[in-house]
Amino acid sequence: MYSGPFGAVQAERLLWRAGFGPKGRADAERVAALGLEEAVRQLVRPAGTASLVGAAPPALAPRDAWSHDHCWWLDRMVRSDQQLVERMTLIFHDWFATSSDKVGQWLAIDQNELLRRRALGSFRDLVMDLTIDPAMLVWLDGIENRRTSPNENYARELMELFTLGADRGAYTEADVRQLARALTGWRADWSDAEGRLVNFRLHTNWQDRGTKTLWAGTAYAKTGNFDWRGAVDLCLDNPYHRSFFVLKLWSYFVPTAPSPATQAALEYLYVTSGRSIADVLEAILLHPDFHTGPAMVKPPVVLAAGLMRAAGRGLGNTNWGWRADPSGQRLFYPPNVSGWKDQSWLDTSTHMGRWDLVYEAMSGYAATSGSYSGSTETPAEAVAAALRFWGDPTIGADTLAALRAYADQPRPSGYSNSDFRAMRQNSLRHLLASSPDFQVC
């Protein structure tokens, strides 16, 4: 367990990685005052149901209107008092990626609620629920998987992306085919009234009730008349699963690989806790590598939500939906079944999109010339004011020096003192929130 200092700086990292950032310096100091263990406990084991605190956005129709799904969830990220639940919902949306392009907003929202309910519970329960979730049954063609015509899509991704990992020797092509047989039998109907798929159910005539053999030729080979529940348990009981789970979950919170001893301890905890997501997550958040390791780039939606939290504002409008794609992450539309490239969040193609997220966060909150009428604000005071606007985040010496140098530039001709000071303040706010320091945590 980490035993170093735990002040506002360390609390900031915890709140950004296990949520969507602090609501200003006072929030980070509040969490620091709890002490590390209590701060992590409150994040991992929240009491009761979540509340959304703060100004609500305009009326949204997340199941129907374009981009309202993105804005609906982004609002939850900003306002929920159970920050880690929302962050884990986002992580599992990436881990078990499905896109509204195929499943539609209606089913995608239902799946999102499922991920939220299971976010800190049993991983077995999560995978069981997702296996028969309507959005997943549509996304990976579970409703096309029949005894007479097996479809291997979900069986393959259940092993490759969700539970075991590719190119590790965990399964063979024969295992994919056998697992697909165990997953047969699901169907749905078209609703004439709404044009949606409804009445998802297990159709016994489509089930393959024959004997299946998984992991043939290994010490853990299994033979039996497995159904969909058996298919999930076969994957979770495979000895390759525990390391896959631990390493994948770890990677969302720490950018460097765990030591062999840490990995072994986390695997043991995972198995002995009954596949508890919360227990393993708690151990990760308390681990020294989390607190002393290198920084991680904030995913675009994390940055967007964090900007609003830092500035003490809510969504205000639905512009965030069309700001999403240029920044590299539109909720409910991951690029493919593998999810987003979590190691490639910041590049030349998305930098401008991130710049525009800052613009949107400042929209309606800009300093005006009138507010600087008669002001004698100095360059140093201007930088301090910009930091206060974003909740006094921790900024490195190089970034701080660059901001001070910018603020120290003379007033251009043709600008009044009030116009110049307002322009300088808005520029400093934008530069600060777009700086390298603000993009990582």
Let me know how many helices (H) and strands (E) the chain has, helices first: 22, 4
Specify the amino acid at residue 150.
P
At residue 210 the predicted structure's pLDDT band, cuts being 50, 70 and 90, is very high
* β 186-190/197-202 pair status: antiparallel
Could you tell me the CA-to-CA distances from 437 to 323, 344, 415, 432 in Å, in that order? Answer: 22, 17, 31, 8
At residue 39 the predicted structure's pLDDT band, cuts being 50, 70 and 90, is very high
Q: Where are the domains of the chain?
A: 83-292, 300-439
Could you tell me the CA-to-CA distances from 26 to 30, 38, 351, 374 in Å, in that order? Answer: 6, 17, 29, 30
Q: What average pLDDT does range 283-289 have in this prediction? A: 98
Provide the β-strand partners of residue 224: 212
At residue 344 the predicted structure's pLDDT band, cuts being 50, 70 and 90, is confident
DSSP string across 61-103: -TTTSTTHHHHHHHHHHHHBS-HHHHHHHHHHHHHT---HHHH
* β 212-214/222-224 pair status: antiparallel
Residue 28 reports pLDDT greater than 90: yes
Quick check: 50 and 85 in contact, CB under 8 A? yes
Residue 176 reports pLDDT greater than 80: yes
pLDDT in tens, 256-272: 999 999 999 999 999 99
Picking from 141, 142, 140, 43, the residue whose alpha carbon sits closest to that of residue 96 is: 140
Q: Which residues of 208-242 are buried (b: 16+ CB within 10 A; e: fewer)?
A: beeebebbeeeeeebeeebbbebbbebbbebebbb
The per-residue pLDDT for 343 is 82
Backbone CA torsion sign across 334, 336, 342, 343: negative
The per-residue pLDDT for 158 is 98
pLDDT in tens, 45-75: 999 999 999 999 999 999 999 999 999 999 9
Q: What average pLDDT does range 289-312 have in this prediction? A: 97
Residue 193 reports pLDDT greater than 80: no
pLDDT in tens, 77-95: 999 999 999 999 999 999 9
The per-residue pLDDT for 190 is 87
For the chain, the average pLDDT equals 96
Radius of gyration of the chain from Cα atoms? 24
The per-residue pLDDT for 342 is 84
Q: Is 248 helix (H, G, I), strand (E, B) or coil?
A: helix
* Distance of alpha carbon 383 from alpha carbon 397, whole angstroms: 13
Provide the β-strand partners of residue 212: 224
Residue 194 reports pLDDT greater than 80: no
Structure tokens at 325: 């794609």
Picking from 426, 390, 430, the residue whose alpha carbon sits closest to that of residue 308 is: 390
DSSP state of 222: E
pLDDT in tens, 421-437: 999 999 999 999 999 99
At residue 307 the predicted structure's pLDDT band, cuts being 50, 70 and 90, is very high
Share of the chain above pLDDT 90, in %: 97
* Distance of alpha carbon 173 from alpha carbon 327, whole angstroms: 37
The per-residue pLDDT for 226 is 97
Helices (H), 118-195: 123-131, 134-139, 153-157, 173-182
